Structure 1
């Protein structure tokens, strides 16, 4: 089985196509027959064999069959509400009030946490990772104010 070249949109399109297949309640055989019967795909029966333009064609075909693309719910995740996450958020907002953090948003905080821990959301931090983020923010606060944070 050959694989098409990598592209940043490719994985997103493949996932979307599989969501469409599931929502349209299409079994694997029916899906593969649809792919095999589509013009321009060269008889491919798997998305792994398809280029981005071909994946877009498949997605359009699925839309014609009734699939509706819904917006991603990214950013709608409930805030982490454990004590460490609250402390991280509090320190982040304090640093914003001091003019050290330009963007006080949860998304900016998540990027900061990701850069430190390689974890993209507060809810997924281990206790040790959260402690490291807290200590880093406390040290940052100390450098700015020369005051300890409790």
Structure 2
């Protein structure tokens, strides 16, 4: 372990002496007297050697100074490995979709884990034994929120002059996912992705 440079040690002791002067409310004369009692012929901490500074600190302690212990470093939060399983990735993808359409304010993994805690009673996505209820719950949530988001995007595209050939969200969902329930998650997701593609093409 590398040693601390002597000048840094000395500077740290001088700072402690200055703190002691403030906490003991010493005027300049009393402060110089304290240094003089600790080290004959000295009246300033800056003129003292490192060992002499220790004597000054001892004198200030005798006068009532109580150095504070440095605050303990806060333990760093445990960083768990990201759940990259197929089911974990599916749950995360729906969570990010919810954030994209404005149903979730915080798209972070921590926020997802908070949701998992409420639904499955464990603190991390990777600890869920049965992921199906979590995924289905997220999909059901998204299916409730997607129609409004799709409608708003259709209207925005139409206002921007993009050709919209669908009369409604349901019509769009039926068009892009004819084998799926038009109000189900899969069809609504396909509708949303179709509008994103159309929006991206218009922006190019």
Report the TM-score when normalising by structure 2.
0.37
Larger relative CO (CA 8 A, sep 6+): 1 or 2? Answer: 1
Bigger CA radius of gyration: 2
